Amino acid sequence: RLALHGRRADALAGLAARLTTADGTAPAVLCADCASADGAQALFTAAEAALGGAPEVLVIAIGSARDDALPMLGDADAAAVIADNLAPVVHLCEAMRAARARAGGGGRIVIVSSITGLVGQPMRTLYGAAKGAVIAYAKSLARETAASGLTVNCLAPQVLDGGLASLMRAHVRQTLLGATPAARACTPQDLVDAARFLAAPGAGYVTGTVVNVTGGLVTW
């Protein structure tokens, strides 16, 4: 059973129309704003009703960027990047932790962060700081929840086709791809395959890890 969550009902409905779950049913569509803890908790209340119990796997793919030299960015930009990238992740993970505790433990959290959270990249200082904070939070949460069986891992992709890459300035994108040994951007399927591994029952001993999906740009 699958539930899709996001802020844009039209986009969610379009995606749901293209998907079916293993038993042939359409996924539930849950429109929510997780910028607040109350919003995230409301989402989980709806999810438990739609799925018939606490979610077993939570995949978080959320964020925004402000690409420019740091002197060109102000306090409002810094606040927006933290609010859009870090706060929803914290609220969703805490709601998931509570839901899994009520269900007796276990579960998987997979967070899509960014390679920018691990290595410095030009023109992406604020975005990198926010994604680095997401990774640090996930690592600490993983240590707190390991004994309960709830794993927490991050994916760190290179520039993602169809995602934030479409919003990047051309010269920024060119610089990043030029340094990538695989000489291409990350695709959504690359991320899906990595997320499926981390969400699988066999990955129960993998937690607090950042999986680099970077085409060789980062090898540690």
Catalytic residue list: 127
Burial class (CB in 10 A: 0-12, 13-18, 19+), 73: middle
8 A C-beta contact, residue 110 and residue 199: yes
Q: What is the DSSP letter of 152?
A: E
**pLDDT tens per residue, range 67-110:** 655 555 566 666 667 778 889 999 999 999 999 999 999 999 99
**Distance from C-alpha of 184 to C-alpha of 105, rounded to nearest angstrom:** 39
Query: Alpha helices of 17-73 — where are they, by DSSP H?
Result: 37-51
CATH topology of domain 55-213: Rossmann fold (3.40.50)
Report the C-alpha dihedral over residues 63, 17, 31, 189, rounded to 10 degrees: -20
**pLDDT tens per residue, range 122-131:** 666 678 888 8
